[in-house]
Structure 1
Amino acid sequence: MDVGAVAVPAGIAVFGGLFAVLVGAYGLRKSRRVSETGVRVQALVKRRRGEVREESALLRPLLQFVTEDDRVMEVVCPVPSTRRQPFWDGDGVQVSYDPADPRNVVVHGRERLGPERVFIAGGALVVLLSVTLLVVVLAGG
């Protein structure tokens, strides 16, 4: 088997896996930083204009809150409504926002860290498999 025919795709897969690990780590770091150092406020759940009441539970609603400097912010909720924990129009939720960029919010009790962890684990698995393939091909070739 030609070493180059395996090395190039494996090298590309390594870079793709490393990219996935970095994206997941960045997401985890950002969520943790905003949760720990952000400003905690109460936000009002609002349905988007034009939504039918039944559909609003399935989509990401708007969160409206007031920042420390008295700006009213309205951002799309970073997590979707679920059957177990739906967002209803008029509900109040605790959020933390980044004072430097109030559009970055974390909804307390609903931090979905699973996708970031999947990116990290999947990327690490791709890197491991690609490097193992390279080692096997180079040792055999």
Structure 2
Amino acid sequence: MVVLAAFTTLGGLVALLAGAYGLQRTRRITEAGEVTEALVKAVWQGADRPTLQFETADGRVLEVVSPVPASRRRPLPAGERVRIAYDTDDPREIVLIGSERRGLDRSFAAAGACLVVVGLALAMTA
């Protein structure tokens, strides 16, 4: 029973930290990052996400893989322009404005917190 409690608590802690990190990263990039427009390019053969091409404030042109998969409710059509925020220290880190994963990250954090509580309860009963 103690091993089950330990694994449950550890798994919950990992999920909690993953959700918290995702929320913090999204908040940091959207608040302190540079906002610009990106051109959606076609999905490569065998890939599930399109690439986004944009110009940074210092004039560099970058292409990064979209953080939003093409299978989303509203896929990003090639040729469309979308608003993104990028980290000025590492422009490859982007957030697609309006398609942030806050709900998913909050779900991970909440599920992780629940698993930690369950794991601790199991440890106390053992």
TM-score, normalised with respect to structure 2: 0.90
Indicate the SS of the match to 2:76. Answer: coil
Indicate the SS of the match to 2:93. Answer: strand
Bigger RCO (CA 8 Å, 6+ sep): 2
In the alignment, is residue 47 of structure 1 matched against residue 36 of structure 2?
no
Could you tell me the percent identity over the aligned residues?
45
The whole-number CA distance in structure 2 between the counterparts of 1:16 and 1:84 is: 30
CA-CA distance at 1:76 after TM superposition: 0.4
The whole-number CA distance in structure 2 between the counterparts of 1:111 and 1:74 is: 19
CA-CA distance at 1:24 after TM superposition: 0.7
> Which consecutive unaligned segments of at least 5 residues does structure 2 have?
none
Aligned length: 126
CA-CA distance at 1:129 after TM superposition: 0.9
TM-score, normalised with respect to structure 1: 0.81
Which structure: larger Rg?
1
Structure 2 equivalent of residue 3 of structure 1: none
Alignment of 1:42-121 (within 5 A): 42-50=37-45, 59-82=48-71, 84-121=73-110
Indicate the SS of the match to 1:101. Answer: coil
In the alignment, is residue 134 of structure 1 matched against residue 108 of structure 2?
no
CA-CA distance at 1:86 after TM superposition: 2.2
Structure 1 equivalent of residue 33 of structure 2: 38
In the alignment, is residue 22 of structure 1 matched against residue 17 of structure 2?
yes
The whole-number CA distance in structure 2 between the counterparts of 1:72 and 1:108 is: 19
The whole-number CA distance in structure 2 between the counterparts of 1:87 and 1:124 is: 34
CA RMSD between the two structures = 1.7
Between 73-82 and 102-111, the greater mean CA deviation after superposition: 73-82
> Which consecutive unaligned segments of at least 5 residues does structure 1 have?
1-5
Indicate the SS of the match to 1:33. Answer: helix
Indicate the SS of the match to 2:5. Answer: helix
